[in-house]
Structure 1
Amino acid sequence: MILAHVVFATITGNNEEIADIISELLDGPEIQVTETEISQTDVFDFVKSDLLIVCAYTYDEGSLPEECRDFYEDLKTTDLTNKVFGVAGSGDKSYGEYYNLVVDMFSDVFKHQGAIQGFKNIKINLEPAEADIEILNKAVKNIVKVTNNLER
């Protein structure tokens, strides 16, 4: 049984929708999925899972949202060796160079703490469209494959 945990931070509801889509795609007989809002999630509980996914937005000019800060800081001091991760996020391309920077920030922390990337960072402009859902579907299949290939 693979334990998966999907956390999200959202203002518009788009990242919660992305988290819902990912959770639904993951859910099955061999995977137990937990989905929580990031400010209500303790990193210690989060990392009890095998597969870790963050769906977050970028605030203002490339800033980490207030509700993500404690989680992010705790993640920076947590051993994530042999954990498989993925990061996705909704943003607005009109922010130009600041578009979805938090996706990369979380990804960098996961890598720095020893986690294995299960899918490439996914950056979605505004709400997920049909093409984005197909990308998420492929990403979920890949992250499950990577998780299954790990020695446990």
Structure 2
Amino acid sequence: TASGKKRQETIKLFDNCKPDYSLNKTPMKRKFIFSIAALFSIALLFSACKSSRVWETKPRQSKYPPPSPRYNPQPPARYAVTPLIISPRPGFTMNQFSDGRYYHRSNRGFLYWKGIDNRFYLDRTYLNRVQYTKWEYKEWKKYRKHYADKRKY
């Protein structure tokens, strides 16, 4: 019949449109690889055409100024080794101050005040200029109080 022939022809036409479930999909793989290769070559072309001139970049100025260096005064080259307490010996000179107290000025210029026990104690203002032991300082601090009450610092 004529209608049967038409049906067969239409079935044959639509047979080509059926999806292909075979494992060989090389045409799609080739298209995918070709598109990746094209994108890679375009990216390579743009990066290769970049200017070859080297530009010098200057460091940016910071918003905040750098911290100022701390001032640490250098310690003296060496401290004078001078006793905190001295006893009178032959050739020892002793002078009287205007308020009646006795004092002695050493050859190095340090000032000593006379205590109750007839020993002379280094003036407090010279302590940071001399070197002393802990024991000397304890003794100086203990006995200097006798004459320090009269003097106002």
Please give the range of the TM-score, normalised by the shorter of the 2 chains: under 0.3
TM-score by length of 2: 0.21
TM-score (norm 1): 0.21
Greater share of residues in strand: 1
Larger CA Rg, structure 1 vs 2:
2
